[in-house]
Amino acid sequence: MDEQLTMAAKTLARWCYARGVDERVLGVGEQLLKAAADQALGRTASAHLEQALWQQTAALLRQRRDWDRDHQVSPPPPAACLPCAMAVDHCPTHAGRRCRACGGQLHRIVVDEGFDTHPCCDRPGTNGSLTFLEHTAQLLGATLLAHPPDQPA
């Protein structure tokens, strides 16, 4: 039984770490913890193991945080809350405040200004807008037309 608990805790810790959830997760509601464990494990966690599972998961997350700090590794960006880590579209607090390009959390000021992407995501690239690149190309073309290079003799 200990081996099953250890494997489940490691799986849950990897799931939490990848989504930016740390050991403070123990402070959220029991139903939410159960839903997160079920989603991470891909099956329902045994009721008699749940408390021990979360305690071991919290210990693993603390160890990982310490390891990251000792080895100067940047962890994934922290989740705004556990519901965001599970499914941001269903979070009652943060839904609708996500970057259109990368899916990351938008700051309130960005939303208040009417933008739906991070400033860094509004640049050319696989996820970004091509508006910046198109504008730059137009400026370069206009500059070349206004000042043609010297013609070779």
pLDDT at 71 over 90: yes
Q: What pLDDT, on the 0 to 100 scale, is given for residue 127?
A: 47
Domain residue ranges in the chain: 2-88, 108-146
pTM over 0.75: no
- For residues 73 and 111, the model is more confident at 73
Q: What pLDDT, on the 0 to 100 scale, is given for residue 151?
A: 56
Q: What pLDDT, on the 0 to 100 scale, is given for residue 94?
A: 65
* Mean pLDDT of all residues in 101-105: 75
Q: What pLDDT, on the 0 to 100 scale, is given for residue 128?
A: 46
CA distances (Å), origin 147, targets 137, 141, 150: 15, 10, 9
Q: What pLDDT, on the 0 to 100 scale, is given for residue 129?
A: 54
* Mean pLDDT of all residues in 75-96: 72
